[in-house]
Amino acid sequence: MILTIERVGKYTIKFKNMPNIEGFAAVCGKKEGQGPFAKYFDKIFEDSKLGEDSFEKGESRLQTEAVSLAIKKSKIKPEDINIIFSGDLLNQCLSSTFGIKDFNIPFVGQFGACSTMAQVLSMASIMVASKAANRCVGVTSSHFCAAERQYRFPLEYGCQRFQTAQWTVTGSGAAVVATSGQGPFIQAVTFGKMVDLGVKDTTNMGAAMAPAAADTLKNFFEDTKTHPQDFDLILTGDLGVVGSKILKELLLKEKIILGDRHNDCGLMVFHREEQDVHSGGSGCGCSGLILCSYVFKSMRRKEMKNVLFMATGALMSPTSSQQGESIPSIAHLLWFKSD
């Protein structure tokens, strides 16, 4: 089978023979394991350090576990994987490095903040479709305790959280992308441009990310000549309450009405009120967790046939925040089909 690739419109890459999600896995922490989608997750860890001696090493273990499970569920071995694409939120992609290094598989580190799950699967799909690889893994993770102390405040400080703030998910999602199988399949990829409207508030990332999401989604619909009603689910990564509202408002101005088709991993992952997470979940583990569990499982059961998955990233760093810089954002999109 020859897999071929074509560019459609200005920004979209379409696959003539679609790469396949061969296997996938989602693992998470205790709080996520008490959320409404817990029954779809493969493993829930009660210990936030997963037996390691730091939160960061705990996060690395999440990636190790997710990749191991995704490989196992694909009924293959690590040596069958040609390349792993991985990224996370920590400085210099620390948890990816330490989570992946012992697999002994070629590794290409990715950074797209919370957009990373879409980015790693996009790269994996292109590699497989182009025959540059037979099989790739895409994986991301995030960890509440590691992210908070790096980007905001150490938890010990007991800082009060803003109502616009989101709760970084402790979790990891991994998927094996291969040439053939039972799906879901990847039909197209749209890479996003950075959008920077000057938002500087690190406790309101939804507002920073929504314009990037609107831009990528608009580009995708234009490129592919599709409409929201062509999809069973239009799933954003982690815009939360604030960002989801802004996204819909921005798209309305472009005469694009998402309606009930839209959902957001950040709104799904927790019982928002009861679990006290304010604007919702966030982190690249958030979209990774929901995609590599509920979404892919539902698609395999053909409960959903066409899904747009668009993870959004706030491209900030502790250094840029401390220097008073704005938060440029980005959103990458994949179109999944169940057959």
* Bond preceding residue 184 cis, omega within 30 of 0: yes
> 21, 67, 71, 129: which one contacts a copy of itself (CB under 8 A)?
129
C-beta atoms surrounding 270 within 10 Å: 24
| Class of residue 300 by CB neighbours under 10 A (exposed 0-12, middle 13-18, buried 19+) | middle
CB of 195 to a copy of itself, least distance (A): 8
Nearer to a copy of itself, 42 or 223 (CB): 223
Strand, helix or coil for residue 182:
coil
Strands, E assignment, 132-287 = 135-142, 167-168, 171-178, 185-190, 233-236, 262-264, 281-282
Interacting positions 297-336 with a copy of itself (CB under 8 A): 315-320, 323, 325, 328, 330, 332
Structure tokens at 246: 């802004």
DSSP 195-209: B------TT-HHHHH
Rounded to whole angstroms, the Cα distance separating 225 from 247 reads 20
* Helices 205-224 + 240-253 axis angle, to 10: 40
Q: Taking contact as CB under 8 A, which single stretch among the options 63-71, 100-108, 268-276, 294-302 is the one that binds a copy of itself?
A: 100-108
Is 123 an interacting residue with respect to a copy of itself (CB under 8 A)?
yes
Nearer to a copy of itself, 5 or 44 (CB): 5
> 130, 163, 182, 229: which one contacts a copy of itself (CB under 8 A)?
130
Nearest by Cα to 310 from 233, 242, 253 = 233
Dihedral (CA of 76, 85, 154, 291) sign? negative
Contact 185, 296 (CB under 8 A): no
Is 150 an interacting residue with respect to a copy of itself (CB under 8 A)?
yes
Nearer to a copy of itself, 240 or 328 (CB): 328
Nearer to a copy of itself, 206 or 328 (CB): 328
Is 179 an interacting residue with respect to a copy of itself (CB under 8 A)?
no
Nearer to a copy of itself, 268 or 308 (CB): 308
CB of 109 to a copy of itself, least distance (A): 4
Is 110 an interacting residue with respect to a copy of itself (CB under 8 A)?
yes
Is 214 an interacting residue with respect to a copy of itself (CB under 8 A)?
no
CB of 319 to a copy of itself, least distance (A): 6
Site size toward a copy of itself, by CB under 8 A: 60
Question: Applying CB under 8 A, which residues contact a copy of itself?
Answer: 4-7, 11, 13, 54, 56-57, 82-83, 87, 89-94, 97-98, 100-101, 104-113, 119, 122-123, 126-127, 129-134, 150, 191-194, 196, 315-320, 323, 325, 328, 330, 332
